[in-house]
Chains A and B, each alone.
Chain A
Amino acid sequence: MIGLSQVKKAYNQGRANEFWALRGVDLHLERGRVTVFRGPSGSGKTTLLTMVGCLARPSSGRVSLEGRDISALPERFLTEIRRSTFGFVFQSFNLLKGITALENVMVPAYPLGGDHGALKRRALELLDRLHMADKAHSNAEWLSGGEAQRVAIARALVNDPRIVIADEPTANLDSERSAQFLDIVAQLKAEGRTVLMTSHDPLVAEAPVVDRVVSLRDGLIAGGG
């Protein structure tokens, strides 16, 4: 479903502080699986996810999604693909402050201009499924870490993506909350979604729901590829 061939990514290319985050990655990821990318910080696992999730383009190499080469598409098309295919749960959740949890969940769907009432119902349903219905009208900055994460998950799901990408999802959670998160991942998998996560948390890598663990080191695949 997702294929990477000889993907390289440089930051600050051509300048003194040039840094190669990925140095040639070949990988194939299958539909409906849960994959964890593991590795020390700076190993390139987050960069890899930004390539796959159409947040950035590789410096060289090719990324294909469902058989289509997406590494050379202009930004407009990347945004379109990102919006319809991917849902993101960021490490620091990145909720918008000052607006309610419900509005945060609805934000990704605003530019689509669909029926507002239907969108609101869908967002409330998602929050309800994640046991957040009673916090729907709380402002985002009043939520605890676990609550903020569940709002972020609901936001990732509002456009009904086929692939969910989570960057260090358990970094800010205690063991109990982490276990709850893995339950949600299991639900997503049961719905047929593909889940990609980065993590250094052994709890995540060793969870039964995870199908595959890919290790990275210094911008190269070190195991599980």
Chain B
Amino acid sequence: MALDPEFKPDHGDWYCTSCDVPLQQQKVQVLYMNSAFDVILPRCPECGLTMIPESLANGKMAEVEALLEDK
């Protein structure tokens, strides 16, 4: 399977302030309501803190969330 496209920060270079290291693009698993999504997101290599770019949060991720939430 082709490598999943990366979701990079909308702008700028981001650091983890706790660990003082730059975020790296890493494969993470996003879980919501028993569904799992493997995507590549900016992540702190030390503590694992993951950033979700605003465009993704307000875009595809919001759409997916709405579809998973059942009546």
Q: Do A and B bind each other?
A: no
